[in-house]
Structure 1
Amino acid sequence: MSSVENVTAAKPKIGGSVHVGALGTALPEDAVSELSEAFNSLGYISEDGVKNENTPNTEQVKAWGGDVVLNAQTEKKDNLSWKLIEGLNVAVLKTVYGDENVTGDLEAGITVKARTSELEDKSYVIDMILKDGVLKRIVIPRGSLVEVSEITYKDSEPIGYEIKIAALPDSKGFTHYEYIKKKGA
């Protein structure tokens, strides 16, 4: 039966909603537990929020005469994307350019070195609040940064890094986990 109580929207968790950690960092297994301090907040993301492209691609197999007799899955991408808008956040810069390519802090000075080498995979956790205080957490055990959109330096908008993360299968074959729980339940 249809119910308006099941219709919801997502807002970022206060204090940061997207976090990144090194592979091997203990991953949360629910929507409510405290996130390990080993995860770094990526701060504000743009008003567009988080997008999840979790789409299978198929190939139709036809029999003689033209009837479609099989839809064979050829791949299933699980990509998540968002735009990081804290251009002075060292964790953001390390996510975009690589941990070893960003040094310092604002007080001492930050140095960013852009290179062509492949970045290390990382773990990501996305926390959000749904209608009526329901908590939702998306956990990506292994994510590869596969795209950084064009970076714009303009006086009328924040410097932002729109990134796409490809969620790769973990040892159990899952690309990401979603945990949902009513707050206080």
Structure 2
Amino acid sequence: MTANNKNVYAAEPLATGTCFVAETGTTGPTNASASLNPGFTDLGNIGEDGFTESMARTTDEKKNFGGKIVKVLQTEYKHTFKFVLMESLNADVLKAVYGADNVTVTAANGTHGTQVKITKNGKRLGHFSWVIDTTDSELNSGVLRRRLGQLRLHLHRRRPEDHVRLVTNCRRGGFVTLCSQTATAPAAFGCADQPTI
């Protein structure tokens, strides 16, 4: 097989949003070009580095009496996305980070503007349904890539400029990657599905 530069995908954000979250059980998309369920909320600006996706597997080697490896067991699988949610004053971002029960928004009135109260505690956060949408404008504006899955968020650290920096870990199953192309996009482009949740 010869090298084909049109198979190199460089992710860019979409004008319609890139990082969306919904309650677990919200019907997700079945392909990359379908309209997203209105139950998904756009979390706004993502940091300049975009998303870092990684997968890790740990194994346990079983040896016989002579020291020869006779079996390799997979003991753990972790699928991680790292990204920066920049809109740290956005109530939807704060609810995704701290949990909806821990964020109270008081509407503006004649004496004060909108107020947000965040309760920071050790309660375990639930899973959410996530969709990450990207495109590559150099591929004839026809290739979309959509990732979806159920993740639990973990606050990684806060930066000096007060952006919310998140590490998301998928602890059950995996993430599904969906791709779509128009008739003008390179015919050779495709994505393989990863394990489903």
**TM exceeds 0.5?**
yes
Match for 1:118 among 110, 124, 127? Answer: 124
Q: Is the CA contact (8 Å cut-off) linking 2:157 and 2:166 kept in structure 1?
A: no
- The TM-score with structure 2 as length reference comes to 0.80
Query: Aligned in 2, Cα 1:72/1:49: closer, same or farther, shift over 3 Å?
Result: same
- Which segment is superposed worse, 41-50 or 65-74? 65-74
Aligned counterparts of 2:67 and 2:18: Cα–Cα separation in 1: 49
Relative distance call for 1:5 and 1:126 in structure 2 (3 A) is same
Structure showing greater radius of gyration is 2
Letter in 2 for 1:26: T
Of 162, 168, 172 in structure 2, the residue corresponding to residue 165 of structure 1 is 168
User: Aligned partners of 2:15, 2:183: CA distance in 1, in Å?
Assistant: 17
For residue 144 of structure 2, what is the aligned residue in structure 1? 135
> Percent of counterpart pairs with the same letter?
29
1:108 counterpart residue number: 114
**1:151 corresponds to which residue?**
158
Q: How many residues align?
A: 175
- 1:9 paired residue number: 10
1:68 deviation in Å?
3.0
Give the aligned residue type for 1:139. L
Q: CA–CA distance in 1 between the matches of 2:28 and 2:183? A: 21
SS at match of 2:82: strand
**Matches of 1:29 and 1:89 in 2, distance apart?**
28
Q: Deviations over 1:152-185 (max 9, x none)?
A: 3x4xxx421121222243xxxx422110111467
Of 67-76 and 110-119, the range deviating more from structure 2 = 67-76
- CA RMSD in angstroms comes to 1.9
AA partner of residue 143 (structure 1): L
Equivalent pair of 1:15/1:43 in contact (CA under 8 Å): no
Matched, 1:59 2:60: yes
SS of 1:150's partner is strand
| Displacement after TM superposition at 1:28 (Å) | 0.5
Query: Could you state the TM-score of these two structures normalised by the residue count of structure 1?
Result: 0.85
- The alignment partner of 1:33 has SS state of coil
Give the Å deviation of 1:57.
1.0
Structure 1 or 2: larger strand share? 1
Name the SS for the 1:100 alignment partner: helix
1-structure distance, mates of 2:25, 2:119:
26
Inter-partner Cα distance in structure 2 for 1:8 and 1:73: 30
How far apart are the structure 1 equivalents of 2:157 and 2:56?
24
Q: Deviations over 1:85-125 (max 9, x none)?
A: 11111111101111011122574322212122111211000
Give the Cα–Cα distance (whole angstroms) in 1 for the partners of residues 128 and 65 of structure 2.
47
Give me the whole-angstrom Cα distance separating, in 1, the residues matched to 2:114 and 2:87.
18
